Amino acid sequence: MSGKRLEDATVLIVEDGDEYLDNLGRFVHGPHYLQAHNGAQALGILAERAVDLLYLDMRFDRIPRAELLGDHAQATRENNGDPERGWRYLANHQGLYVLAALRQAGFAHLSVIVAYDFSRELARFEFLKQQSPGLDWVPDAVTPDEIRARLLAGIAGRVA
Amino acid sequence: MTLGLLTVWTLALTLPGTPTATDATDPVGACVAVLQQPASAAAVAGAWNDKGKLLHQAKDLAGATAAFQVAVALNPLHPEFANNLAFLYQLQGLHLLAEYWYGKTLELDGKRAVAHANYASFLQDRAIERTPGRDPDRDLALAAEHLTQSALLPDRDPTVACAQARVAALRNLCVDAATLRDACRKAPQKKLARQKALGELAGLLGDCWFAEGDFDAARKAYQDAESLQQDVAAKVAQLDAAARKSEVPATPDHQLDLQDARGRALQALERLDKADFGPETEKLLLEALRMAPDAGIAHAASGEWLAHHKRFAEAELAWSRALHLGLGDDRLTARAQAGLGRLYLRWPDTPRYAEAAALLAEAVRREPTRPDLRWDLVQAYRHSGQLRKALAQLERYLQSPMAGSPEQRRDAVALRKSLAATLGAAADPLPEEDATPKDRSPEQTAREAARSLAGQDRYADAAEVLRAYLTHAKAGPDLHNDLAQYLHGLGDVEGAMAALRGSLQANDRQPAVHLELGRWLARLGRPEQALPHLMRAEELGIAVATVERLQVETAPQGQGVRALLADLIRRQDLQDAISSLDDYLDQARQTPPAPDADVKAARELRESLVRRLRQGALVVLAAVILLMLGTLGVLWRRHGGRDLAWLIQHHPETGPEVQRILAGIRHEVLKHNTTVLTGLAEAIAAGQAQAPELAAHARTRLLGGGKDVSVAQQLAGYVRELQQLGQARGVRLNLRRRDRAISALLNGFAELRAVDGPLARVASLGPRAKARLLRHLGEAARLLNADGYEAVRNLLDSLRLLGVDRVVLQGVFDRVRQEPAFASLAIPTLAIAPSVELPVWVLVPRPAFEDILTNLLRNALQSSLAHGGGGRVGLAVETEVSPVTGLERAVFAVRDGSAEVLTTEMLRGRYIEEGIGLTADLVARYEGTLDVREETGAWTKAVVVKLPLAHPPADEAA
């Protein structure tokens, strides 16, 4: 995908609401945006269409629990045996569960931008990037130009 | 006396519209009705004369006198009015006035038969009464002359011969009297009247012949008298006694009896002076009266005795006889007059003030140096409405050095003030009523008429008299003042004030009237009208007017708080008033006697003002304190309170909740804003066509108005949650002003709201408005995304609280080992086995971490000691990472070698001992987990705590 123009790119936005699609559609013109509201939908789209980049939200607390990816039993165990905390854990980190599902589905090298501020957790990001080499992130406060730059880098396979 | 009056009544009035006694159910009212109609002064005077006659017929002597006085005032040249007035005065014992008006009548009409007859009757009465200061023989001679003149006039009374016969008999002209008696017998008159007249005449003739020593003629005359129903038994007895002693003159015996009687009466008086009203005194009095029934002094002394025993009617008779018979010396006469006067003054039920006044005036005339008599006279005048006389007597009373006790003097001063206020101090007291009647003016006559009516509590009639006078003539201030007094007595305060105004129009230099009018106006709540009068009274020299003025000027304005505020505003005025009152009180002290009531009023006002000033000061103080507290409260509300960092520091248990909320803010609020605001600003700056649509999107998303919850609303919800978190711990969070993170966010949204209008009309904005909008958007973006986002991140960083190293771990174990349960035991050292570099950073506050570890170590130690572990406890420190999320956790495994079985379920459940149960709660609160795992080697099991691992702060990491 090297040298691909932004206008020719397809970006799949995976979020629990519509905010990213709204904002990117309005303020970051060029790519063709697709949208999925959960991990299963995202995998379905990826199975059917060519996607240059996946723009991934981290927290999915507005979708039904049944749509959350991840092992709830495991999450419960890791959260002191509290099932509620287990669900919350899955929702709060759903973006990374989607990322894990992509890897398992063979999309480990897909360019992915996670909308999460890893600036204070760089080691963690590095840990994740080892598993998903196409992973990048944007902070919460980001301008359209910065997003545009990340998208360009992503579709060019030059993620940081 | 009846003769004259009947004659007066027979005179027909020829005035048109004048009522008669028979043409009205209420004749007096009918006359009043006429008086209220417009008419000439003569007609009105005639009506008043008519009214007087009707009142006399109704036995209302005072009312009749007043009416005749008005008639005379209105028409002083009418002889009938003057005659009637004289006759009324005669009936009431006002001799000088009667004589004056008879004289006036005859001066006006010397050929008025009835006036001559009336005057003769008056003179005859004086002679019989032996009025002190008069010559009876001369009076009788004068009476005979007037009767002769009357008999010669055409309008003579046919019975004038009867009067002539009586006077002749009294003059001891027995032959003339007998001749005239025959003429009297022939005079046309009613049978009963004739019988009575002839009977009296026969008695007098008997006396005449007896005095002449013609006992036979006397006896015959007495027999005639008896046949005519006259009681002459005593006289006959005397005549018999005299006849038996025909050789010896009767007079010397009688003179001896008189002397004895007088001696006994004097003894009785001495006893009475010593307050001895017992039987011995009574015996002396009875003896005296038996010896000489005509001994005036015996009757006078009897009057005192009877009055003391409350036999008032008998006392009145005794004193009247005494005065009639004569007492021979001024002192005794004055004593009798005073006794009877005082009796009238205190007459049961209806005191007879006018009569009391007449008698006491006579007594005072005889004994002018006795203040007690004068004081009683003052009271009599006062209660009979003769206020001017009362005031005059009061002045004389106060001038007397012997005038009563200090209390009485104080009362007198107060009364003088009251009277002066009512009458007006500028007016001089009138002379004594009987002193100079010839100077009396119609106005004075009208006033006297009114006063006489007022003396009987007939204030309405009194006022009517004065008003009638004012209808036709101008009057001086005194008449207006009288009118004011009567109207006030009737409760007609407005009318009274109008009268006082009239008085002031006549003479403005009446300080007491100004004062009184000012007082009334002030009490009626008209301070603006009252003040000029009070100030004028001050100007004219009445000191107490100052007090009254200050009362008005400093009256509370409103009630409650309003009054207090008003006092505060005019604080200086109140202080000035206090100074003025101090001056007044000083002056009152230096120039006694100041009226006590005035001084008391001044003191009370001063105290009231001081109290109000103090209250005002307290209110000011309270207001200042409240203001300060309010200001402090506002300042505290605005700038006080705590931020989130303080909350977390002092209430570490709130850390996880704060972290959750901040994560929500970060996720829901902060995301997208930079994108939206920056993108919008770029579009506006570039003048892109889609800028308005982007602006609308930004407004809806950030500020609200769409179907979804806006970012601002989400932030408000999170802020509420944080504040509730603080409130639950008694902490007031001032997130808007003190918390760097939240305030930046709130201010950012405030910036956006400030440009909500321009955002709504981006398409039509001019260059300057657009530039201003861009500045605001830039500032909002900076606040929300730079300041706010950065601050939230820093706050989240600060929640990574604790770096756990060997010191921390060993310190916890040492404290456990020193607990009483373990202190005496030989506990092996803690075997710390970190598999990672220490410190490890956990998102748990130190106290919570220490509590968790303390409980686990204690539990392990107990288990080890109890179940064969030998008290050995170990602690492994590890980390683990989630392969999916990349999240790391610190793992603290507390090991022991006991044989006790412990499962994870037991740990997390409530059936284990409380200490571990609490530990499980704490661990859960900080997003940790608690497990049990089997261990190998020297250890049998480990209780494992996993806590979120934080990254070290920047300086630590470095």
pLDDT in tens, B575-609: 999 998 998 888 777 655 556 677 888 899 999 99
Is residue A160 a part of any domain in this protein? no
Residue range B817-823: mean pLDDT, rounded: 90
* CATH hierarchy code of domain B802-957: 3.30.565.10
Number of domains making up chain A: 1
Judge contact between B168 and B180, C-beta under 8 A: yes
Chain A partners within 8 Å of B930 (Cβ): 80
* CATH hierarchy code of domain B2-247: 1.25.40.10
pLDDT of residue B917: 65
Sorted by sequence, the CB contacts under 8 Å of residue B151 that are 6+ apart come out as B160, B161, B164
Is residue A98 a part of any domain in this protein? yes
Q: Please list the residue range(s) of chain B that carry CATH number 1.25.40.10.
A: 2-247
- Between CA A126 and CA A132 the distance in angstroms is 10
Token readout for B582 is 């101090």
- The burial class, CB within 10 Å (0-12 / 13-18 / 19+), for B165 is buried
Residue B75 in this model has a pLDDT that exceeds 80: yes
Lowest mean pLDDT among B480-484, B507-511, B839-843, B953-957: B953-957
Q: Does A130 touch chain B (CB under 8 A)?
A: no
For residues B209 and B5, which has the higher predicted lDDT (pLDDT)? B209
Chain B partners within 8 Å of A58 (Cβ): 667
- Between CA A101 and CA B804 the distance in angstroms is 35
- The CA angle B631-B632-B635, to the nearest 5 degrees, is 85
Residue B598: count of CB within 10 angstroms of its CB: 21
Band (pLDDT 50/70/90 cuts) for residue B69 is confident
Pairing mode, strands B831-834 and B873-881? parallel
Domain of residue A24, CATH code: 3.40.50.2300
User: 3-class DSSP state for residue A136?
Assistant: strand
Q: Do B672 and A128 touch (CB under 8 A)?
A: no
Q: Do A141 and B676 touch (CB under 8 A)?
A: no
Residue range B454-471: mean pLDDT, rounded: 80
- The burial class, CB within 10 Å (0-12 / 13-18 / 19+), for B843 is buried
Q: Does A50 touch chain B (CB under 8 A)?
A: no
Q: Do A27 and B676 touch (CB under 8 A)?
A: yes
For residues B135 and B518, which has the higher predicted lDDT (pLDDT)? B518
The whole-angstrom distance between A143's CA and the closest CA on chain B is 5
Q: Does A81 touch chain B (CB under 8 A)?
A: yes
A22, A23, A29, best to mutate vs chain B, most B CBs in 10 Å: A23
pLDDT of residue B916: 64
Q: Do B885 and A119 touch (CB under 8 A)?
A: no
pLDDT of residue B245: 58
Give the single-character DSSP code of B803: E
Among residues B167, B135, B137, B138, which one has the least CA distance to residue B151? B167
Domain that holds residue A77: 6-155
- Between CA B928 and CA B933 the distance in angstroms is 16
Chain A partners within 8 Å of B682 (Cβ): 27, 144
Residue range B661-665: mean pLDDT, rounded: 84
Q: Does A37 touch chain B (CB under 8 A)?
A: no
Band (pLDDT 50/70/90 cuts) for residue B250 is very low
The whole-angstrom distance between B693's CA and the closest CA on chain A is 9
pLDDT of residue B23: 37
Q: Please list the residue range(s) of chain B that carry CATH number 3.30.565.10.
A: 802-957
Q: Which of A24, A79, A124 sits opposite B886 (nearest CB)?
A: A124
Q: Does A67 touch chain B (CB under 8 A)?
A: no
Sorted by sequence, the CB contacts under 8 Å of residue B78 that are 6+ apart come out as B45, B49, B71, B72, B108
pLDDT of residue B501: 92
Residue B382 in this model has a pLDDT that exceeds 90: no
Q: Do B789 and A141 touch (CB under 8 A)?
A: yes
The whole-angstrom distance between B674's CA and the closest CA on chain A is 5
Residue B37 in this model has a pLDDT that exceeds 50: no
B675, B680, B697, B795, best to mutate vs chain A, most A CBs in 10 Å: B675
Q: Do B675 and A144 touch (CB under 8 A)?
A: yes
pLDDT in tens, A51-75: 999 999 999 999 999 999 999 999 9
pLDDT of residue B428: 47
Residue range B279-290: mean pLDDT, rounded: 88
Judge contact between B316 and B340, C-beta under 8 A: yes
Q: Does A58 touch chain B (CB under 8 A)?
A: yes
Q: Does A90 touch chain B (CB under 8 A)?
A: no
Pairing mode, strands A135-138 and B831-834? unpaired
pLDDT of residue A33: 97
- Between CA B447 and CA B460 the distance in angstroms is 14
Q: Do A23 and B675 touch (CB under 8 A)?
A: yes
Token readout for B48 is 């008043």
Q: Do B682 and A96 touch (CB under 8 A)?
A: no
Q: Which of B678, B887, B920 sits opposite A143 (nearest CB)?
A: B678
- Between CA B284 and CA B261 the distance in angstroms is 9
Query: For B907, which residue in chain A has the nearest alpha carbon?
Result: A80
Query: Letter for the amino acid at B41?
Result: A
Q: Does B682 touch chain A (CB under 8 A)?
A: yes
- Edge-to-edge order in the sheet of strand A135-138: A32-36, A10-14, A53-57, A112-115, A135-138
ipTM score of the complex?
0.90
Q: Do B701 and A22 touch (CB under 8 A)?
A: yes
Is residue A136 a part of any domain in this protein? yes
The whole-angstrom distance between B826's CA and the closest CA on chain A is 35
The whole-angstrom distance between A158's CA and the closest CA on chain B is 22
Is residue A1 a part of any domain in this protein? no
Sorted by sequence, the CB contacts under 8 Å of residue B613 that are 6+ apart come out as B567, B571, B574, B575, B578
pLDDT of residue B786: 74
Chain B partners within 8 Å of A100 (Cβ): 883-884
Sorted by sequence, the CB contacts under 8 Å of residue B486 that are 6+ apart come out as B450, B454, B459, B460, B462, B463, B466
Q: Do B881 and A59 touch (CB under 8 A)?
A: no
Residue A131: count of CB within 10 angstroms of its CB: 15
Residue range B510-531: mean pLDDT, rounded: 88
* Helix orientation angle between B387-399 and B477-489, rounded to the nearest 10 degrees: 100
Q: Do A144 and B678 touch (CB under 8 A)?
A: yes
Q: Do B884 and A127 touch (CB under 8 A)?
A: no
Sorted by sequence, the CB contacts under 8 Å of residue B237 that are 6+ apart come out as none
Token readout for B304 is 């005192």
Query: Biggest alpha carbon distance in chain B?
Result: 180
- Between CA B363 and CA B370 the distance in angstroms is 9
Residue range B21-40: mean pLDDT, rounded: 44
Sorted by sequence, the CB contacts under 8 Å of residue B478 that are 6+ apart come out as B388, B423, B424, B427, B447, B503
B710, B844, B882, B884, best to mutate vs chain A, most A CBs in 10 Å: B884
Band (pLDDT 50/70/90 cuts) for residue B782 is confident
Q: Do A125 and B886 touch (CB under 8 A)?
A: yes
Token readout for B773 is 């909008």
Query: For A96, which residue in chain B has the nearest alpha carbon?
Result: B885
Chain A partners within 8 Å of B676 (Cβ): 23, 26-27
Structure-token match 């989130």, residue found: B644
Judge contact between B101 and B82, C-beta under 8 A: yes
pLDDT of residue B595: 61
| Helix (H) / strand (E) containing B596 | helix B596-639
Query: Letter for the amino acid at B537?
Result: A
Q: Does A96 touch chain B (CB under 8 A)?
A: yes
Q: Does B930 touch chain A (CB under 8 A)?
A: yes
Band (pLDDT 50/70/90 cuts) for residue A79 is confident
Q: Do B886 and A128 touch (CB under 8 A)?
A: yes
Judge contact between B357 and B382, C-beta under 8 A: no
Q: Which of A100, A119, A147 sits opposite B675 (nearest CB)?
A: A147
Residue B16 in this model has a pLDDT that exceeds 50: no
Q: Could you please report the per-residue DSSP string of A34-88? A: EEESSHHHHHHHHHHS--SEEEEES---SS-GGG--S-HHHHHHHTTT-HHHHHH
Q: Does B186 touch chain A (CB under 8 A)?
A: no
Token readout for A82 is 């509290």
Residue B346: count of CB within 10 angstroms of its CB: 14
- Between CA B109 and CA B81 the distance in angstroms is 12
- Between CA B387 and CA B371 the distance in angstroms is 18
Lowest mean pLDDT among A59-73, B142-156, B735-749, B910-924: B910-924
Lowest mean pLDDT among B85-94, B431-440, B558-567, B759-768: B431-440
Chain B partners within 8 Å of A139 (Cβ): 789
Q: Does B661 touch chain A (CB under 8 A)?
A: no
Q: Does A120 touch chain B (CB under 8 A)?
A: yes
Q: Does A149 touch chain B (CB under 8 A)?
A: no
Residue B874 in this model has a pLDDT that exceeds 90: yes
Lowest mean pLDDT among B237-251, B440-454, B630-644: B237-251
Lowest mean pLDDT among A20-24, A51-55, B4-8: B4-8
Chain B partners within 8 Å of A69 (Cβ): none
pLDDT in tens, A102-157: 999 999 889 999 999 898 888 899 999 999 999 999 988 888 999 999 999 999 87
pLDDT of residue B606: 92
Query: For B666, which residue in chain A has the nearest alpha carbon?
Result: A140
